[in-house]
Amino acid sequence: MKTLVVYYSLDGNTALVAAELGRILGADLLELKFAGGEKRTGPAKYIWGGKMVFSHEKPALKPYTADLSAYDLVVLGGPVWAGSPSPALVSFLSETGMTGKKTAIFCCHGGGKGKALSKLRTLLAGNEIAGQADFRNPVRGGPETWESKAADWANRLSPGTAGHPGTSSRAS
Ligand SMILES: Cc1cc2nc3c(=O)[nH]c(=O)nc-3n(C[C@H](O)[C@H](O)[C@H](O)COP(=O)(O)O)c2cc1C
């Protein structure tokens, strides 16, 4: 099964999970970036990101190539922002008009995923959603909090492909 993992990550959590899913599933990775750059420091990032969500923005993305027709499964991941899916994913779905695809969705959050995944499901109307998962700040929690969950989830999405304890590429 040919798989594409599309993700946005501001602070590296989603990127970590996306890379592991990519490794286990043998998937291609597509990282989304905002065309206008990012505000990474201090409280400013919450104001900047929160405003984007509350004003229902679909921020412009840096150019990317995504031939979705080449993939059997498209996994979408991003951080929860203000209880909502990442605006980058909202932009991606709006730009590509993705429909009729088998998809799976995941998010990273700090303990309050809110309605991020259910809103993403709504945005994915017209696609099949094969599964969903959420991860609590994997960078901070350390590998033990998310690696086996990611492997189990990947195995459910594509039976037989997932790694098992001991196959991780992370340095121990
Ligand atoms: C603008 C903004 C809004 C956020 N809102 C939430 C939220 O509503 N609930 C939550 O649990 N975490 C929230 N977070 C925390 C992130 O979802 C969390 O740290 C996630 O793991 C970050 O993923 P990333 O490193 O891939 O960007 C927010 C972070 C930012 C920057």
Taking only the tens place, the pLDDT of each residue in 72-128 is 999 999 999 999 999 999 999 999 999 999 999 999 999 999 999 999 999 999 999
Match 């899916």 to its residue by tokens. 85
Q: Which of 81, 108, 149, when mutated, tests ligand 1's pocket best, judged by the most ligand atoms within 8 Å of its CB?
A: 81
Q: 63-69: long-range contacts at Cβ-Cβ below 8 A with a sequence spacing of 24 or more? A: 64/30, 64/32, 66/4, 66/6, 66/30, 66/96, 68/4, 68/96, 68/98, 68/101
Give the Å distance between the CA of 159 and the centre of ligand 1: 30
Whether 110 is in the pocket of ligand 1, judged by its Cβ within 6 Å, is yes
Give the Å distance between the CA of 118 and the centre of ligand 1: 16
Domain ranges of the chain: 3-157
In whole angstroms, give the CA distance from residue 8 to residue 102. Answer: 19
Fold of the domain built from segment(s) 3-157: Rossmann fold (3.40.50)
Percent of the chain with pLDDT over 90: 85
Res 171: pLDDT: 34
The pTM of this model reads 0.93
Res 162: pLDDT: 52
Across 123-138, average pLDDT: 97
Whether 26 is in the pocket of ligand 1, judged by its Cβ within 6 Å, is no
